[in-house]
Every structure is written in C-alpha cells, then in structure tokens.
Amino acid sequence: MATGGTVKPSSPFDASSDAEVLFKAMKGLGTDEDTILQLLTSRSNGQRQQLKAAYKTLYGKDLVDNLKSELGGKFETLIVGLMTPPIAYDVTELRNAIKGAGTDEKVLVEIMASRTAQQVKEIIRAYKEEHGDDLEEDITGDTSGHFKRMMVVLLQASRQQGVDEGKVESDTQELFAAGEKKFGTDEEKFITILGNRSAAHLRRVFEEYMKLSGYEIEETIQRETSGSLKDLLLAVVKCSRSVPAYFAESLYYSMQGAGTDDNMLIRIMVSRSEVDMLDIRANFRRLFAKSLHSSIQHDTSGDYRKALLLLCGGDDA
C-alpha cells in the first residue's frame, strides 16, 4: 500500500517560468482558473514559496494578493491555504479560531491533537513572531475548565518517549478507577495520562484497558465526559491509534449530513496533502466502504472541486 502524501515536488521545476504562467493566467479580462489550480496542486509547498519569490522579483507584485483579487469563495480559501507555509497555516487557523466571534474549539482540537511535539513548538514560536502574543495565554483566555487544562498540557509538547512497561498497568488501573469504576469522573487522571504518554505507550494502555474493563477507552470517554473536553480526549485517543484514520473520519463527517464543513475539508486537504493523504485515503476506504474521491466529487463543485480532487490524487473505488 502506498503511503505518504499525494503532492510531491515537481521535477524539473522552474520558479520563473511558473510565475510567468500564473501571471498570464491572471492578466487581462477573465482568469484562467484551470491553469492556476493545475499548476499549484502539482507543486510542493516549498516550491510554491520559491514561486511566490520569483513572482515578486519578475512583476513587483505579491502573488497571494493577486490570487485573492482574481479568485473568490471557497476556491480562493483553498488556493491561499496552499500558498501558505505549513506552520504559518496552522498559526493562521488557530488565530482565527481564537480571535473570531466565539472560539472555534474544533480547530483547536484538530491541530493540538494531531501535530507532533516539534510542530507544536514551532507553531508556538511562529505565533509569537507573527502576532506578538503568547499562544498559551490566548488559548487559556478563551477556554475554561478541564478543556483548558488539557490544552495547556498539550501545549507543553513534552510527551514521554517510547513505552514505559512499568507504567502500562498502573495507567490502565488509574484510568479504570477514574471513570468506569467510580460514580462521577476524575477528569484530571484522563488529562495527565492521555496528555503526557507517548502514542505507543497509550496503544498498550488501551489494549490492557479493554481486557480489564471490557470497553474500548473511546466508549468510556463518550460516557464519562461531555462537550469540548470529550471531543479533545477522543481526538487524542484516535491520533494515538492512527493519525490518518483520525483525519479520514474527520473528512467523512465534514461531508456528512446537511451542508459541508468546508473549513475543515479545506484545512485537512491542504495540511495533509504532502504528509499522509495516501494513508488517509486508504483508511477512508476501509472505514466507510467508499472512496474519499467519490465523497468530494459528490459534495463539492466547480474549480473548488477540481482542486480538491487533484489534492486527493486518485479514486480508490
């Protein structure tokens, strides 16, 4: 099974000739959207940054500003996302989630549960550079209760490495005692263990937990917690099991029911296209007995759909 991203660096690559193609696609009356989307979805993010620099050198204009003035709607949001370096993209998404009207907890949950410790540290640094603010302060100022505490734990980005065999059993016992075994729930225990142990360690704990309690840890979290804390703990558990499966499920639900959560769809397709989109597709097929390609095809339209399908990269029918 192929793994990794669907978007690879283009070879050969010539930033100046790409810049020229884009300039022509936006020049004069009307815009050649097809050329823009074909070109940008077939370049890596690193190449798009070189292309942005070449465009400015050749034309004295900002490529992203030009794209914004020529495109619109969801298609524009998707293309601007593709033009943004990955860490800067996460920073923008988090900033919008915190600073908009009300807090978009879904974004906080998705990014904080799925990014590596190294990425979280880079996000915190870039957030400070870009906005002059402390990400942890902004998140804690906007959240409360156990959800806030779990966020703070994840922002420390200091999960233990490897499996600590000596702790597997005690962690399992403690989770059982904190949830299923008692009336009410000791959320602190869930936060400490799920927030600090490595993914490999947690997978062992979940196995033992199933043997001990007869439940999957997800079932316990569903029953014992609620609201945004429940969503965050479930996301952490799912990412410990498999990040691509977590994103496959998120994509499925972004397109389920009435209306599409386009922001989530765009965010995942942009941020995972060079990382694990092939694995996400395989998991989508396994979990939902249909292809990601067919779901996007069915749920979107126009240039927006064309660009998403190119990022998806193929149909696992």
Look at residue 257 and tell me whether its pLDDT is greater than 90: no
Q: What is the pLDDT of residues 70-79, one digit of tens each?
A: 999 999 999 9
Mean pLDDT of 23-28: 95
Average pLDDT of span 215-226: 96
pLDDT given at position 1: 64
Is residue 28 pLDDT above 90, yes or no? no
Q: Give the pLDDT mean for 178-193.
A: 91
**pLDDT tens column, 112-146:** 999 999 999 999 999 999 999 999 999 999 999 99
The mean per-residue pLDDT over the stretch 163-190 comes to: 94
Q: Is the pLDDT of residue 101 over 90?
A: no
CA distance 32 to 29: 10
| pLDDT of 39 above 80 | yes
Tokens encoding 137: 């302060």
Tokens (6 digits) for 308: 């998403």
